[in-house]
Amino acid sequence: MTRVPWVTLVFVTVAAAVALLPAGAAAFEYDRAAVAAGASWRPFTAQLVHWGTRMAATDLGAVLVLGSVLERRSRRAAVLAMACGLALAAAGLHWLPPPVARYRGSSTIASALYVALALDLGSGARSAAVRGGAVMAAAAFLAKTGFEAATGRALFAGPMPPGVEVLPRAHLLGGLGGAIGWALRGRPPL
């Protein structure tokens, strides 16, 4: 538990640095029209930019805490959760209906880390209370996503700018990617 969570720290640092660039958000957000015109990086870099300061603080704070804890337990699990969550969310936002015109936020990475950490804590627990807590954490994730789907409001990130919608499917895809990444982690440390 003493290793430095450098993968998490690099992600958060890069996202914070992009936020300081004058045209950072516009250059890195997912924009369906820009992707169709050849900007194929945008489904992936959209995780680095946000719609506002509160959203950035919420998303990156969650990534920092969850990623640091998981990465200290298993760097392999954290990296695979982040990679699988990012890949599933990027693919789902681009190809699943209904079409998404624009997207920003690292909440899919936070969702991937949250689910992977719940699985990691629950799977190794000898205590029924800890295993139960992991199940409750997974249920809370589904309830949060259900709330967002039912209300169209982000539970933690605050109000979105006019014309911007919360995308619960991005969180579900991130969480599913986190579960897949955790399952793929194997036992040797990365």
- Ordered structural domains, the chain, with CATH: 6-184 (1.20.1540.10)
> For position 187, what pLDDT does the model report?
65
> For position 181, what pLDDT does the model report?
97
> For position 171, what pLDDT does the model report?
94
* Spans in the chain with pLDDT lower than 50: 189-190
Spatial CA neighbour of 113 closest among 164, 179, 41: 179
Q: Which tokens in the block code for residue 148?
A: 């967002």
pLDDT tens for each residue of 91-107: 999 999 998 999 999 99
Alpha carbons 182 and 115: distance in angstroms, whole number:
9
Q: Which tokens in the block code for residue 88?
A: 């599933």
Exposed/middle/buried for residue 126 (C-beta within 10 Å: 0-12, 13-18, 19+) = exposed
Q: Which tokens in the block code for residue 165?
A: 């919608």
CA 95 vs CA 87, 167, 171, 175, 177: distances in Å: 12, 14, 16, 18, 16
